[in-house]
Amino acid sequence: MMKMPTPSTDSVKVAVRARPFSQREKNSGSKCVISMHSGTTTIQDPKNPEHVKTFTFDLAYWSHSGFQMDKDGVFISADPNSKFASQGLVPRVCEELFQATETQERNQEHQVTFSMLEIYNEQVRDLLSRTKKPGGLKVREDQQLGFYVEGLTSVPCENYAQIERLMEQGTKIRTTASTSMNASSSRSHMVITIQFKQAFPDRGLTKQSSINLVDLAGSERQKSSGSEGDRLREGSRVNLSLTNLGNVISALADAAMGKKVLHVPYRDSVLTKLLQSALGGNSRTTLIAAISPADICYEETLSTLRYAERAKKIRNKAMVNTYTLTKESNAENSTLRLGCRRSRMAEQSAHSLAEHGLRTDQLTWAHQLEQAREEWRQHYVAIAQERQMMKTVPHLLNVSEDPQLTGVLKHFLQAGSCDAGRAASNAISLQGLGISDKHASFTNSDGKVTVTPHGKCKVVVNGVPIATKTKLQHLDRIILGSNSSYLYIGFPWERGGEDLSRFDYDFFQLERAAAEGVSVDKLGAGDRGEGKADPSVLAVFQDYVKLMPLVAEANQMSEELKKELKMELKVKNLASSDSRGCDLQKEVMVKVTNQRTHEVWIWSKAKFINRKFLMEELYQRFLDGEDSHVVQEDDPFWDPVQVVHLGSAHIWLQPLAYCMKFEEQAEFLNCEGLEEAVLHIRITPCSPAGRACGEEDVVIDPLELLGKRMDFQIRIVRCLGAKWLKEDAERGIQMGYRIYNLPYTLYTKPVWKIMNPQIEESVQFTALNASQEFLNYLQTNALVVDLWGLQEGCTELSCSQPDLLVTDEGHIMVDTKKISTVIDIGQTASAQMSELYLKLLRLEQETGMLRSINRALSEENALLKESLERTGSAHQPSSTLKITGMTAPSPAAREIDQACTQRASYDREFAKALKGFYQSMNVARGKFLKLRCHKPPEDDQMLRPFVHQQAQMLKDFGELLESSLWKLKNDVALIVKKKRECLLHSE
């Protein structure tokens, strides 16, 4: 009798592999931010090189450098000392598996079966079956087997060569399905399952295990699909499996760390159902994280490393699956374990029954194996014929976004003419978006091959669209429909030893972009004097090229589904929104236009990708003959109407720094740098009352304005020649701008259905004490005025000015940074602090007025003193009398001396009042700093006393400000009153 083995507890082993740069990363001038030393993996933040994170995994493979390409196009180690780790995981596993079976004892029999499936959009596709089942295969659950795929093809295999052929077959079906369903393999998961069974006939014993090799979808796609700000961001099921896998890993990691976990969400996705035993059950599991070492992928790589680090905490309980008796009952298999207390006769009967079960199982296996051998013979004949034709006949090789799928499909161009298209009657059956029933004809005649489009069908050769018969040359690049890409392999005498690997998917798209006039130079990268283009612009260019085929596919789906949307790629130059006009990083966006209603939307890159996933789901339902109608709120081709940013105009403010008025007509430039409209604007320095300053107010040096009050008016006069209004007379416009540190954008009133509208809106601004920073801003920055397009049904931009600081005259205050910096108490009592902020602002205004009064009084004192001195000197001969050798002042002199003494006394009193005020302000500042130091307690029970204490301190602070201001105002008022009485008396 066999003793049941004790389960062994193992952590999930985690390996990490740093791959070579992709062509896109090379073109972007990427730098390596990953290093591996002594089992540790380190990643460096490219924006902050001192910020380094280190991870430790069970295995670390360096595949980024130290390699060369062999004759078969496979990367191998460049020299024996290189630490390069080559790729090829599935072949290695299968090869070693069959090598191990050859060294086993002769009394053992081995049975190996192979299955291959793909999970896309929560549907399971059998990659070894040419029959497509609508809705995919179903995932069932059995009490003993757990989750399994019903009806999945499982093929017996005798050696690795057979598995290799099955993988080729599965990859071909995957490629065909990917093309026909428009389902990119980079967004799907592939699961290869190898069932391995060991039979021991002499002992009546069977051991069985399953090896699951899972290729997960790429993280880049998954991340970009989660669009920020998209109302449909949760609607797509494309990345559901990967998201739920992360949730399962997190739950299992928490459980391994001793945390209480109520539920592990295995059932939330197809992938996690099939991987339940691998993730938290009877298995040994290894996770390999393939990471990009490029700086432009830093965030994604760091996220993947953290994902892997968490998975490392999961623990499985692995045990050998040993069966001592297998009894077949109808179509259901049940496993019976022999008990310990049995008679010898019962044991003999059981042993005989076990041998009978094994013999039956062996006969079934032999029958399956014979059927498989017959299929292998036919398959090998077909492969041999295909290889011979590849040597002698011109043909088309498919080029896919996924390098593993490139070159899988081969369409041979035999002598004569053949049609290519969607219809089954064509000699070359093509699938994919934009492919018509009869799309094009290929003709092989007199040693040359030509291609002719049918009607207006889209055919592109070497990046250039063609409309007539075109001769093909060896290695020509052909795109049929929206994005079905093929490399033409010519006649044998045309071929050489070319490296076909360089003609990858990116090569096709770059060539297509160049033919359409899109280049790095056009996007404004230029030469920075180092012989290299700006990396940020290179990255945007790569984004542009990457999105080109996606936009073409989205437009084709829109056409076939009759959505009447046209999508165009645009590159937004962020310098248009920068007041200094700096050439900041650009970004790619998609302009979406409803060709029937002329409604316009602007989608970010992330939002467009998310929407395209949803469009694919809807389009797939359309292809399957299902109802593709959805309510408007769930339609990925629809969005609520919104305002559209049309362009920006820069008005340089330097004249204002010299108190000079100016008037301009400036261009509104759109994202492409083209004129969208013309702005007529007038900016005038003025008095607080709004009177325009004259030439006598012009200053030679802006420093003359330092610390003084500055008032100026911005008047938007009109908008001229707006293309937005020319395209549709029912539209409207608004303009908005924000100056210096103003917290809100000011918008003009909306104007509808008027060409060249007269705006005539004026706003006055005030800087109470012009700071050096504000004067610098005026000399070096521009006022950026944005033009916004309104369309019927959209929400207009708000023209209200909430919470703006204004003077007593109602003018908007700018240059209030000093005040704003002082009031920063945190968020504990924001309502009280808002009130104190206004009080302090009024205090600052009053203080400014007092300073002005003080300066005026000081000037009056100086003038009066000079006048008195002149008066005194004029009367000096007769102003004194000589009495016994002494002089005595005259009545007039005594009056003058008395007046001077009184004025000096008033100045002293004023200085004393200011000193008292400043002292009280120091006390207030101390209270304020004390308030800022107080932090909310972590204990919730102490929060209420804390808030009460803060409220009381705020109240005391407010009362101190009020009393200090009241005392200063009263003291100054009394001094000013006495001084004026003195002046009147002296006059």
Most confident of 515-519, 571-575, 716-720, 879-883: 716-720
pLDDT at 183 over 70: no
Most confident of 187-201, 381-395, 566-580: 381-395
**pLDDT in the model for residue 238:** 59
Q: What is the CATH number of the domain that holds 667?
A: 2.60.40
Q: Which pairs from 74-77 meet CB under 8 Å and 24+ separation?
A: 75/20
What digits encode the pLDDT tens for the residues 601-619? Answer: 999 888 898 888 888 888 8
Phi and psi, residue 593, nearest 5°: -125, 130
Please give the structure tokens belonging to residue 342. 């049995």
**pLDDT in the model for residue 330:** 30
Under the banding of pLDDT at 50, 70 and 90, the label for residue 785 is very high
Most confident of 67-71, 92-96, 393-397, 696-700: 393-397
List the single range of 237-251, 752-766, 923-937, 972-986 with lowest mean pLDDT. Answer: 923-937
For residues 78-96, give the mean pLDDT.
79
Q: Kindly state the DSSP code that residue 369 receives in the 8-state scheme.
A: H
Separation CA 545–CA 401 (nearest Å): 13
Q: How far from 605 is each of 551, 573, 588, CA to CA, in Å?
A: 11, 14, 6
Q: Which pairs from 694-697 meet CB under 8 Å and 24+ separation?
A: 697/659
**pLDDT in the model for residue 97:** 85
Is residue 224 within 8 Å of residue 218, measured between CB atoms? Answer: no
Mean model confidence pLDDT for the chain: 79
**pLDDT in the model for residue 332:** 30
The SS3 of residue 503 is coil
Q: Where are the beta strands (DSSP E) in 319-427?
A: 322-323, 326-329, 332-335, 395-399, 410-412, 416-421
| 538 and 491 in a common domain | no
Q: Give me the half-sphere count of Cα atoms (radius 13 Å) on the Cβ side of residue 34.
A: 32
Under the banding of pLDDT at 50, 70 and 90, the label for residue 363 is low
Residue 612, amino acid? K
For residues 178-187, give the mean pLDDT.
63
**pLDDT in the model for residue 857:** 60
pLDDT at 486 over 90: yes
Most confident of 188-197, 332-341, 444-453, 853-862: 444-453
Backbone conformation region of residue 935, classed left if phi is above 0, alpha if psi is from -120 to 50, else beta = beta
Residue 950 forms part of a structural domain = yes
pLDDT at 320 over 50: yes
**pLDDT in the model for residue 5:** 46
**pLDDT in the model for residue 835:** 57
Residue 447 forms part of a structural domain = yes
Separation CA 537–CA 521 (nearest Å): 9
List the single range of 72-86, 160-174, 249-263 with lowest mean pLDDT. Answer: 72-86
Pairing of strands 286-291, 13-18: parallel
**pLDDT in the model for residue 488:** 96
The SS3 of residue 187 is helix
| 739 and 674 in a common domain | yes
Name residue 443's beta-bridge partners: 417, 450
Residue 771 forms part of a structural domain = yes
**pLDDT in the model for residue 890:** 55
Number of domains into which the chain is organized:
4
Residue listed under structure tokens 């459980």: 255
Please give the structure tokens belonging to residue 256. 């391994």
Residue listed under structure tokens 């021991």: 200
Higher pLDDT, 389 or 89: 389
Separation CA 601–CA 311 (nearest Å): 41
Query: Among 977, 931, 938, which residue's Cα sits nearest to residue 957?
Result: 931
Phi and psi, residue 213, nearest 5°: -110, 110
Q: Which residues, including other chains, have CB under 8 Å from residue 926's CB and lie 6 or more apart?
A: none
Is residue 124 within 8 Å of residue 149, measured between CB atoms? Answer: yes
| 731 and 678 in a common domain | yes
| 628 and 675 in a common domain | no
Residue listed under structure tokens 């069974």: 197
| 803 and 709 in a common domain | yes
The SS3 of residue 584 is coil
**pLDDT in the model for residue 487:** 96
Q: Looking at 612, 634, 656, which one is the last position of a domain?
A: 634
Please give the structure tokens belonging to residue 594. 């409803």
Higher pLDDT, 241 or 31: 31
Residue 676 forms part of a structural domain = yes
Report helix angle 605-623 to 160-181, nearest 10: 100
Q: What is the CATH number of the domain that holds 443?
A: 2.60.200.20
For residues 362-380, give the mean pLDDT.
78
Please give the structure tokens belonging to residue 83. 């630490």
Is residue 134 within 8 Å of residue 178, measured between CB atoms? Answer: no
Residue 99 forms part of a structural domain = no
Residue 246 forms part of a structural domain = no
Separation CA 365–CA 358 (nearest Å): 10
Is residue 440 within 8 Å of residue 420, measured between CB atoms? Answer: yes
| 590 and 697 in a common domain | no
Is residue 674 within 8 Å of residue 709, measured between CB atoms? Answer: no
Under the banding of pLDDT at 50, 70 and 90, the label for residue 344 is very low
Is residue 89 within 8 Å of residue 213, measured between CB atoms? Answer: yes
Is residue 575 within 8 Å of residue 582, measured between CB atoms? Answer: yes
**pLDDT in the model for residue 526:** 47
List the single range of 640-649, 889-898, 929-938 with lowest mean pLDDT. Answer: 889-898
**pLDDT in the model for residue 476:** 95
Separation CA 740–CA 783 (nearest Å): 8
Q: How far from 97 is each of 104, 158, 159, 192, 649, CA to CA, in Å?
A: 11, 11, 9, 15, 69
Separation CA 284–CA 314 (nearest Å): 11
| 628 and 649 in a common domain | no
Please give the structure tokens belonging to residue 271. 């992938």
| 654 and 794 in a common domain | yes
Domain span at 479 = 395-496
What DSSP letter does each residue of 631-684 carry, written as one string?
Answer: -GGG-TT------EEEEEEEEE-GGGGGT--EEEEEEEE-TTS-EEEEEEEEEE
Q: Looking at 574, 607, 634, which one is the last position of a domain?
A: 634
Residue listed under structure tokens 């390069």: 84
Higher pLDDT, 179 or 166: 166
pLDDT at 517 over 70: yes
Residue 711 parent element (H or E) = strand 710-720
| 400 and 476 in a common domain | yes
Q: Give the chain's count of helices (H) and strands (E).
A: 18, 46
pLDDT at 747 over 70: yes
Under the banding of pLDDT at 50, 70 and 90, the label for residue 186 is low
Under the banding of pLDDT at 50, 70 and 90, the label for residue 983 is low
The SS3 of residue 826 is coil
| 672 and 758 in a common domain | yes
pLDDT at 446 over 50: yes
Is residue 198 within 8 Å of residue 108, measured between CB atoms? Answer: yes
Separation CA 83–CA 59 (nearest Å): 13
Residue 449 forms part of a structural domain = yes
Separation CA 587–CA 570 (nearest Å): 9
Higher pLDDT, 801 or 539: 539
List the single range of 11-20, 502-511, 647-656, 840-849 with lowest mean pLDDT. Answer: 840-849
**pLDDT in the model for residue 438:** 94
Q: Is 917 exposed, middle or buried (0-12, 13-18, 19+ CB in 10 A)?
A: buried
Residue 680 forms part of a structural domain = yes
Under the banding of pLDDT at 50, 70 and 90, the label for residue 47 is confident
Most confident of 161-170, 257-266, 450-459: 450-459
Most confident of 9-23, 556-570, 847-861, 956-970: 556-570
pLDDT at 898 over 90: no
Secondary-structure percent of the chain, ordered helix, strand, coil, rounded to 5: 40, 25, 35
| 627 and 657 in a common domain | no
Q: Which residues, including other chains, have CB under 8 Å from residue 787's CB and lie 6 or more apart?
A: 645, 646, 647, 648, 649, 668, 676, 677, 679, 719, 722, 724, 733, 734, 735
Q: Kindly state the DSSP code that residue 492 receives in the 8-state scheme.
A: G
Q: Looking at 773, 788, 813, which one is the last position of a domain?
A: 813
Name residue 14's beta-bridge partners: 287
- Residues 761-798, buried b or exposed e (16+ Cβ, 10 A)? eebbbbbbbbbeebbebbeebbbbbbbbbbbeebeebe
Residue listed under structure tokens 């006069």: 717
Under the banding of pLDDT at 50, 70 and 90, the label for residue 352 is very low
Residue listed under structure tokens 């691998």: 278
For residues 291-310, give the mean pLDDT.
86
For residues 118-143, give the mean pLDDT.
86
Q: Which residues, including other chains, have CB under 8 Å from residue 101's CB and lie 6 or more apart?
A: 110, 112
Other CB atoms within 10 Å distance of the CB of residue 330? 5
| 662 and 621 in a common domain | no
Q: How far from 976 is each of 214, 386, 969, 983, CA to CA, in Å?
A: 88, 107, 10, 10
Residue 44 parent element (H or E) = strand 40-44
Separation CA 591–CA 567 (nearest Å): 6
**pLDDT in the model for residue 846:** 61
For residues 838-860, give the mean pLDDT.
61
For residues 927-936, give the mean pLDDT.
63
Residue listed under structure tokens 């108190």: 659
Separation CA 279–CA 317 (nearest Å): 10
Please give the structure tokens belonging to residue 949. 């204490």
List the single range of 18-27, 398-407, 560-569, 722-731 with lowest mean pLDDT. Answer: 18-27
**pLDDT in the model for residue 122:** 83
Q: How far from 804 is each of 742, 811, 833, CA to CA, in Å?
A: 8, 10, 15
Q: What is the percent of the chain with per-residue pLDDT over 90, rounded to a whole number? A: 30
